Structure 1
Amino acid sequence: MQQGARKDARTRSEKERERSSIILRAPHTPLIWFPCTNIYTVMEFSTLTPEDFGERQAVSGTPRGVTFVEDLLLVPSKGNETSGVSARSATSLIIAVCITALYSLICVVGLLGNVLVMYGVLRYTKMKTATNIYIFNLALADALATSTLPFQSAKYLMSTWPFGELLCKVVIGIDYYNMFTSIFTLTMMSVDRYIAVCHPVKALDFRTPAKAKLINVCIWILASAVGGPVMVMAVTKVTEKGSTACTLRFPEPEWYWDTVTKICVFILAFVVPVLVITVCYGLMILRLKSVRLLSGSKEKDRNLRRITRMVLVVVAAFIFCWTPIHIFIIVKTMVNIDHQNLLVVACWHLCIALGYINSSLNPLLYAFFDENFKRCFRDFCLPHRSRSEQSSFSRARNSTKEPASVCASAAARRAPA
């Protein structure tokens, strides 16, 4: 009896030591786990293929999918392990097709819309205002982000990364550049609006196209402080299944630097900018409520409020689309969540989709809230109608001496009526 009790106690003690120890990767334990600290690192969204569902690897990657295993939808249940291979194959195909369809739509809308925004700012002289130059910078970052979606779609369909290490570095680097340049640009747009509304005298000196261009250059330099090292750390590696993954290789200890990176990105690319934006718009709201007429004329005042409202909507859309992914990453970094819960996985995919949707949403917001962008989009898409309207407009302007259209090119404005 005593020997049996000692044997049972020894067995329980061994099991407890196994639980508290660090479990390294093995054929039946496909993850690197730190149960004592509840901190682990996994392969990120944009480098995983649907065939990798159910695995965790000690790597990290792009900000939109920096810490989650998206392939958990394909983990067979304990009661259905015999049909795990067939179920995994069918589900991975469905997921790959759905992701490809969604990414294709985002890519087409995002690329076309953001290219049109950049075209409008570059083409038409009167569109080159300080606010529109910031919008150009935002459209450039969004266009670059959406241009990577075909590569990610191909990766999902092929269940591997077939484009080599150079494109791997470019795609991951663009993802980080997009995140930092977008939020920094929106922060400067909010500061620009604050100065225009609350300090109209200082705005005459600060809010110039030349200074806006200089600030845009500084934004890209700041983003390079993160984007450059990320491109250096981006590598391709062959998984145990023989497929190629595009991911980040952190210095040792890898889990520590991965966690530090996520926290720093959360603070620098989300918390601090959102606080600055909130303060700027809080002060602007107080100013708008206390003063009925901000400028010397009602028309200028109406235009100022309209632009402020458009920038606020664009900022709100960005915060709405990016808050879930940032919160999810931080929560998952600090807490061991259930990765096999389908609701958790579905929420993760929704967070990823929202991050990319924001890149294609901004041009639609410009067209909806800004009449100048709306006219420029219409002029580009319907050139014949635009020319006939421009001819009628020129005749009317010749008789009424009205100002030229914002979207009329410089050559058209110089031409005689």
Structure 2
Amino acid sequence: MSDYGENTSLTPAYDYSSYNDLIGDFAPCESNDVRAFGKVFLPALYCLVFILGFIGNGLVVCVLVRQRNQTNLTDICLFNLALSDLLFITTLPFYAHFSRVSAWPFGDFMCRFAAASHNTGFFSSIFFMVVMTLDRYMVIMHSFKVARYRTLKAGIALTVLVWMLSLSVSLPAFIFTKVTNNSSGPSCHPDSENNAWRLYNLFAANILGLLIPLMVMIACYSCILVKLVNMRSAKKHRIVKLILSIVVAFFLFWAPYNICLFLNFLKAEGKLKGNECTLEANLGLALTVTEAFAFSHCCLNPIIYAFVGQRFRKQVLQLLRTWVPGIHCTYTEGWSDNSYRKSSVMFRSSDVTPTFIK
């Protein structure tokens, strides 16, 4: 969670300092209203996000596992995107409790592990979205050249590479996050006294997590949209609509928080001028609200799938009918698993649509 004291960390969604932990030298700047708002608003929102995100992403995982014989590269990325969101939300109950009681009772290892898991879920999400964007670009712009490379083995290797990269980027969070004692009890937050760590957080949050992916996606989708103007493939239009919706939603939810983190960094460096207490209170409220808004993003992808993919709705209803007696599937017309059977060994250039979007 964000902390609006002088030693605020700059990693997106990874600073879990207590909302009641005010540095002694800045005690005159009271932020009671922001702290009281955070203690009530954040735990309730985190619990709601955890429940909705677990159910939604769990259904996505179940659907894709059930259709594993029809898997293509996009499905592999969507599956791992759901896993990333699940990894992200598993830490929310811990931070809901931390927000409420302003103390970390789970020990130093869980403090480090939760921070690293949080980071890994965030970065793996953005990296898999970049992979999906690049794959879409290659399939649409250079379909004949990439057909032989889109194999199951290549998809698995790419998945391992992305997870290793995400873990590597997140490793500093495990190393530098620790439990410290303050007036309200043990607190879990990164070592914001370390200037190298602060700069790395800023780089990871805004460069690796926002600017570079955004530039790649804008460049790819600009070319894709020009190409699609002259294409009549409904499948290719649908998959681009799906991925573009995922990407736009991600940046709409996370960009405000990253901007607030950058402004907070400028404040800590003395680059923002104005009344110190007013600036601190305004940034504290902005960080609290934008952080909560960003965290709720992990519930959104399953909703996008449900709106974009008719077949995803069918498969979810079929799963619910299997698990819960009495639920009737209304999407039964002309659809069966065998009618969409495809090879799991080679992802042909024409086979570019996720199994639940057809």
TM-score (norm 1): 0.70
Q: Which amino acid aligns with 1:277?
A: M
User: In the alignment, does 2:212 pair up with 1:272?
Assistant: yes
CA distance in 2, matches of 1:315, 1:115: 20
Deviation at 1:199, TM superposition (A): 1.4
Q: Per chain length, whose mean CA-contact separation is higher, i.e. which structure has more relative contact order (CA < 8 Å, sep 6+)?
A: 2
Q: Tell me if 1:356 matches 2:295.
A: yes
What's the offset of the Cα at 1:235?
Answer: 1.1
Is the 8 Å Cα contact of residues 16 and 95 (structure 2) preserved in structure 1? Answer: no
Give the one of 50, 56, 59 matched to 1:107.
Answer: 50
In structure 1, the partner of 2:61 is: 118
Q: 2:189 aligns with which of 236, 240, 247?
A: 247
| Identity within the alignment, % | 24
Matches within 5 A, 1:129-168: 129-168=72-111
The one-letter code of the counterpart of 1:109 is L
Find the aligned partners of 1:104 and 1:388 in 2 and give their Cα distance.
30
CA contact 2:10–2:262 (8 Å) conserved in 1: no
Check whether the contact 1:62–1:175 (CA below 8 A) recurs between aligned residues: no
Alpha-carbon offset, residue 167 of structure 1: 0.9
Decide whether the 8 Å contact of 1:67 with 1:332 is kept in 2: no
Q: Distance in 1 between matches of 2:245 and 2:177?
A: 34
State how far apart, in whole Å, the 2-side matches of 1:77 and 1:242 are. Answer: 15
Q: What amino acid does structure 1 have at the position aligned with 2:218?
A: T
Corresponding residue for residue 261 of structure 2: 329
Match of 1:382 among 321, 336, 342: 321
**Which residues of structure 2 form unaligned runs of 5+?**
342-358
- Residues 13-162 of structure 1: pairs in structure 2 closer than 5 A: 45=2, 55-56=5-6, 58=7, 60=9, 62-64=11-13, 66=15, 88=32, 92-162=35-105
Residue 67 of structure 1 and its aligned partner are, at CA, apart by 10
The 2-side partners of 1:264 and 1:306 are apart by 32
Matched, 1:404 2:338: yes
- Retained in 1: the 8 A contact 2:84–2:120? yes
**Structure with more of its chain in helix, by fraction:** 1
Paired residues of 2:317 and 2:328 also in contact (CA < 8 A): no
C-alpha deviation, 1:194, in angstroms: 0.8
Q: Separation in 2 of the partners of 1:265 and 1:388? A: 43
Contact in 2 for aligned 1:113/1:363 (Cα 8 Å): yes
Cα RMSD after superposing both structures: 3.3
Paired residue for 1:200, among 136, 143, 155?
Answer: 143
DSSP 3-state at the match of 2:178: strand
Q: Gaps spanning 5+ residues in structure 1: where?
A: 1-43, 294-300, 408-417
**Counterpart of 1:315 in structure 2: which amino acid?**
V
1:304 deviates by: 1.5
Q: Distance between the aligned counterparts of 1:224 and 1:95, measured in 2?
A: 29
TM superposition score normalised by structure 2: 0.81
Q: Indicate how the Cα distance of structure 1 residues 203 and 354 shifts in structure 2: closer, same or farther if over 3 A, else same.
A: farther
Which is greater in Rg? 1
Partner of 2:235: 303
Instruction: For residue 63 of structure 1, give the secondary structure of its aligned residue in structure 2.
Output: coil
Structure 1 residues 208 and 305: CA distance shift in structure 2, 3 A: farther
Q: Write the mapping of 1:172-191 to structure 2, written as runs, cut at 5 A.
A: 172-191=115-134
Does the Cα contact within 8 Å between 1:72 and 1:340 map onto a contact in 2? no
Structure 2 residue 344 is the aligned partner of structure 1 residue 367 = no
